[in-house]
Structure 1
Amino acid sequence: MNAKSQVEVSSMDTVKLLAAVVLIVAAILGFYYFDDYSQLLRVLGLLLVIGVATFVAYQTVVGRTVWQFASDAKIEVRKVVWPSRQETVQTTLIVFVMVLIMGIVLWLFDMMLGAILRMLTG
C-alpha cells in the first residue's frame, strides 16, 4: 500500500522559493555581467549566492522534503552491493560477444533477405 501525504505549501513558502530562484538568476547574470573581474572571484560569488539560495529554499516545506529525499537516496546507495571489477569485466565481455553475435546473425539475415528480394525482382 502506498500512503500519499499532502504537503501544505503556504504563501510564505512560495515567496521563499521565488526569492531563491531570483537569487540564483541574479547570481548567474552577475557572473556574466562582471566579466572583467577575476573568474575566481566571480565563481566564489556565484557559489556563495547559490549557498544562500539553497539555505532560503531549505526553510520551506518543499525544500526540507527535497533534502530528506536526497538523504534517503544517499542511504539507499550505501545499501547497494556493487559488482567487483572481475564481475564488471566479465559482464562487459559477455555483452560485447552477444552484440557481436547478434550483429552477425542480423547481417546474415539481411543478406539472405536481400538475395531473396533480388531473385524475386530479377
Structure 2
Amino acid sequence: MNAQVNSTSSVFDYSKWFVAIVLICLAIGGNYYFSAESLIYRVLGVLVLLVAAVGVALMTEKGKSINRLRKEAWVEVRKVVWPTRQETVQTTLVVIAFVLVVALILWAVDTLIGWLVSMVIG
C-alpha cells in the first residue's frame, strides 16, 4: 500500500516538474515571439512566468526539501557572530600589508633570477 502512495506522489511530482519546464519554455519563447513589444512588458511577462514556474517547482517533494533547507540555512545565518567594523578594518589592513610584503618578496626574487639569468646568458 505504501508503494502505491509513493508511485502516485511521484507521478504528480513529474507532472508538476513538466508544468514548471513548460512555463520556463513559454517565458523564453514568449520573449522571442514578442520581441517587437516594449522591453518592460517582456521582462514583466518573463518574471511572472518564472515566478509561477518556481512556485510549481516548490510544490514538489524535492522543492519542499529545498525550501526546508533554505529555511534551516537562514536560521543558521542568524546564529553567526559577525565581526565589528573595527575588526573588519583591521583584518583588511593586515591582508593588504601581507599582500604588499609578498609582492615585494616576489619582485625581489624575480629581479634576482633575472639578474642571474642575464649573467649566465651574457
TM range (shorter): 0.7 to 0.9
- Figure out how many residues of one structure are paired with residues of the other and give that number: 115
Q: Does 1:41 align with 2:46?
A: no
Q: Does 1:87 align with 2:69?
A: no
* TM-aligned CA deviation for residue 68 of structure 1: 0.8
The aligned counterpart of 1:113 is 113
The aligned counterpart of 1:24 is 24
The aligned counterpart of 1:77 is 77
Structure 1, unpaired ranges of 5+: 1-7
- TM-score, normalised to structure 1, is 0.80
* TM-aligned CA deviation for residue 19 of structure 1: 1.6
2-side partners of 1:73 and 1:45: how far apart? Answer: 31
2-side partners of 1:78 and 1:46: how far apart? Answer: 33
1:10 counterpart SS class: helix
The aligned counterpart of 1:98 is 98
Which has the larger helix fraction?
A: 2
Give the superposed CA RMSD.
2.0
Percent identity over the alignment is 44
- TM-score, normalised to structure 2, is 0.80
Structure possessing the higher relative contact order (Cα contacts under 8 Å, 6 or more residues apart): 1
Structure 2, unpaired ranges of 5+: 1-6
